[in-house]
Amino acid sequence: AQTVTQSQPEMSVQEAETVTLSCTYDTSESDYYLFWYKQPPSRQMILVIRQEAYKQQNATENRFSVNFQKAAKSFSLKISDSQLGDAAMYFCAYRSEANAGKSTFGDGTTLTVKP
Amino acid sequence: GAVVSQHPSRVICKSGTSVKIECRSLDFQATTMFWYRQFPKQSLMLMATSNEGSKATYEQGVEKDKFLINHASLTLSTLTVTSAHPEDSSFYICSARDEEQWDTIYFGEGSWLTVV
């Protein structure tokens, strides 16, 4: 079974600074997707960024970028120029394509942005 | 963009009664939907995979007779919590897979269930 580990329950960053959230996963599969989701107090799950395992290039979305290390099974999220609206719970997720597309989520990291 | 709608967003029911939560894909067809449960400040736990036209696939430890899932159409999956107990109180989230959009998965807004 796949597992996803987020070792940082809480992180804090100063507004306009950069922060990196860690995520590691364990799988024996070669074809899969990795995601970072943001969950604000409204509880709506918002997709931040997506990475296909077969792609070597790290995904980027504006201020959000990932460092995908497939061999090390590591998938960290970097948030640049942090904004107050970035404060939320962030979940790393693994999605298997061999297993009906089910997703496994990490325990989450609560990000606080200080003004 | 694609939207998944959940209804109701909040529901309170009495112990022993049943409550139904709906998950609709509004502008795409979804043969596969997923139901999750989330306790406060915890992660999402997959309960079951809902398959259109066939039986749902439940995760280990999830009581299929208690959490009934029906996926009667390509745009609607329902989760019925039967004989609800206070320990069933939780936040339930569904997601739907849009196979026409690179297998993108969209999440509903979630439903708060409180059993009193």
Residue stretches of chain B with pLDDT short of 70: 1-2
Q: How far is CA B80 from CA A66, A110, B35, B65, B77, in A?
A: 38, 31, 11, 10, 10
For residue B105, which residues of chain A lie inside 8 Å, CB to CB?
Answer: 95, 101, 103
Mean local confidence (pLDDT), A105-109: 96
Q: What is the per-residue pLDDT for B107?
A: 94
A39, burial (CB in 10 Å: exposed 0-12, middle 13-18, buried 19+): buried
What is the distance in angstroms between the Cα of B88 and the nearest Cα belonging to chain A? 18
**Category of A47 on φ-ψ map: left (φ > 0), alpha (ψ -120 to 50) or beta:** beta
Q: Assess contact for B52 and B71: CB atoms under 8 A.
A: yes
Tens-place pLDDT, residues A66-89: 999 999 999 999 999 999 999 999
Tens-place pLDDT, residues B2-21: 699 999 999 999 999 999 99
Buried b (16+ CB within 10 A) or exposed e, B88-109: bbbbbbbbbbbeeeeebbbbbb
What is the distance in angstroms between the Cα of A44 and the nearest Cα belonging to chain B? 5
Q: Do the Cβ atoms of B32 and A106 come within 8 Å?
A: no
